[in-house]
Amino acid sequence: MAKAERTLSGVELAGRLKALPGWREEHGSIRRDYATEGWPATLMAANAIGFLAEAADHHPDLALSWSRITVRLNTHSAGGITDKDLELARRIEDLALWRPGAGSALTGTRRTFVQSGEA
């Protein structure tokens, strides 16, 4: 029988979420809202998140609208929030908000595309 995964809560979870600005605990999950510039960007971001989730075999709940994505993560088998959720949240955050940095050969889009926060 597999060892039960340790769930995180309270002060420990709050401390770990400090490394993930914009993510918050809500009803036994961690949640993050991303604003997008519209439906095409919403779909592209949702598909990218889906790719990460499938590769990780750890699947978030996604809520999509024209200019917004809400991501909710918890580990159902553990009955709460685990390291899996925090690690996938970090990967999603890095992917969703990635832009080419200084010195990159890539110039990046001038459009708002996906950003932190509300639309």
Q: What is the pLDDT of residues 18-55, one digit of tens each?
A: 999 999 999 999 999 999 999 999 999 999 999 999 99
Give the torsion sign (CA, 26, 30, 34, 38).
Answer: negative
Q: Which amino acid is at 49?
A: I
For domain 25-86+111-119, give the fold.
Gyrase A; domain 2 (3.30.1360)
Q: Report the percent of the chain where pLDDT is more than 90.
A: 84
Ranges of H-type helices in the chain: 10-17, 39-56, 83-96
- Checking if the pLDDT of 119 tops 50, the result is no
Whether residue 112 has pLDDT greater than 90: no
Q: Which of 17-21, 52-56, 64-68, 99-103 has the lowest mean pLDDT?
A: 99-103
Measured in degrees and rounded to the nearest 5, phi and psi for residue 103 equal 85, 0
Assess contact for 41 and 113: CB atoms under 8 A: yes
pLDDT value, residue 21? 94
In sequence order, the β-bridge partners of residue 3 are none
Burial of 89 (0-12, 13-18, 19+ CB in 10 A): buried
